[in-house]
Structure 1
């Protein structure tokens, strides 16, 4: 066999091995692992308290409820005190755990982190859920987004800056105890084409990248860091009212995502979303222009429906 022939065979063999490993890893992390081991994770081993940001609605509220159901005391951090107190009361009465509420607006300045740091003194926080986030009323082209000059810094502070700042507060005590769990909620838009969601997708990309590298740094110190990259979930933020197979209700999504802890360093959290991710990434690899155009067209259709319903008005230059 010639050198060229040998090299060609080696390349084909390498690609096939990578494909096999990738498919096996996908099946194990998304289906087999969660099914076999996902329900046996002892979340209380990390510490007595879990802190959840963006905890009064949607995914954040369900993470708080699910962890309370598993016996953890919950610190709820969000913007509106009345909502925080309502959710805290529900959790205490239903799961017989302690709660604490901290009302801060993550689009504000760095002073909010001093408030959080002061409030949590003396609390053994073993789990941190960085869930807080904001989006736009509807997807749109960058220059057509209303109040763009205010939206950009607000979204960066809420979706991106909040994550390393909260880790900076909580990680030291985890490092000292040599155990802890940090879950950062990113988005599928971080890793697939996301035209008309430019700033949102970029901030979620930051969340995903930060999580991957922080996990690398602190795994040897007993600290798990997981990036969760969900697709559509029926929440107030997405304005999806009813859960479906592809867009589940928040409680269904969270229970599924928690079963991947310790199994997948990053996950969509819900296997239909994993299938969606796989299809999008393969399409991007095989037909990148078609994939980008298709996702852009989809976002344009969502935008146009929002305009027609009267819930969104784009900026007109």
Structure 2
């Protein structure tokens, strides 16, 4: 059977853009509707949208996307929702890393690639409201293609009921794809978002997958879509519950220190950060995940 790779790419890119649009709308609505509690009298935040471009060695079109960032809102101190579709050829460092990590032969002979996805990181005004990360993506080369992504919760002040809700929604969206998926992707997230030099996880976990390619593209894409669909119902209720709480100076201090932990992970270990910088994507978009303020002790 002939596989229409271009049609698959188009469908995936369109889905990631539609998910981005849903999340941006939901977050701006949350800003407008915040009517009681700290900062409710401030002006609601809105997203600043900036086109991004990938730099190619020869100056040819290499794709790009949209960087959507809100700063200084009532609810979000900084939140970015980026979507991109990039393509071209992998540089030598990226070829070696990809071949080594994924066992893909022939990368040096034909280093073409295509990648599309959505990436989100939210840092909150209220220390009681958890920070969060989410991404889903599709990656294609002439040798193999796969999906990846997930979401994980990063509270500086942990609430067991919030963690339970976040994980329960993830599980409910994964179970229709197989009862083994949630425990496997949860364990993968626990391993992936661990910070070795701090001997601890960066948050309370979530789900994560990479290199996901079962041979059934439709099933793999459907799973990736449900990972994306799980995000808003898993996260929004937690924010809506916590943004009305008052906070102390000690709470804010804990938030800033926890953000330092988050920054360390993203700069030292995160594969997406490394790949984006190595392949010439807009540095501001790649580093969007960093918090606006952080502290180390």
Normalised TM-score (structure 1): 0.24
| Structure number having the greater strand percentage | 2
Normalised TM-score (structure 2): 0.25
| Structure number having the greater helix percentage | 1
